[in-house]
Amino acid sequence: MDMHNSGGLTPEQTERVVAIAMDLAREGDTGQLVEFVTHGLPVDVRDPAGNTLLMLAAYHGHAATVAALVRHGADPDLRNDRDQSPLAGALFKGADDVVAVLREAGADLDAGTPTARAAAAMFGRAHLLAG
């Protein structure tokens, strides 16, 4: 859904809505974030650096928010402008519960730079990707 055509928002208003949603993802405010998505915010919307809501929630360690976004159709493999995946971000931050949610969602262990496998090895977390 194109937010420019939903509710008649101007580009500036749309940009503001996206910025608020990104903050909610960073903060792990699952309830409000899901409200935004159910009211037309594309679940895979990106910030100026190419980060999705799921990427920010994963990087900041919010497993429940990540799970809710996945349930609402978020793509667990969308990488940001630096080619980083949400799974690699969660591994970097040591967010083991987020890693588990993303693995269950079928996140690609070999996508991005570094790949999740490489990130896990680098940060001594390879056990999280085993099995």
pLDDT digits 0-9 by tens, 19-29: 999 999 999 99
pTM of the model: 0.90
What is the length of the chain? 131
d(CA 75, CA 69): 9
Could you give all domains of the chain from N- to C-terminal order, each with its CATH number?
Answer: 3-129 (1.25.40.20)
3-class SS string, 81-119: CCCCCHHHHHHHHCCHHHHHHHHHCCCCCCCCCCCHHHH
Question: pLDDT tens-digit profile of 66-97?
Answer: 999 999 999 999 999 999 999 999 999 989 99
Residue 5 clears pLDDT 90, i.e. is over it: no
pLDDT in tens, 107-116: 999 999 999 9
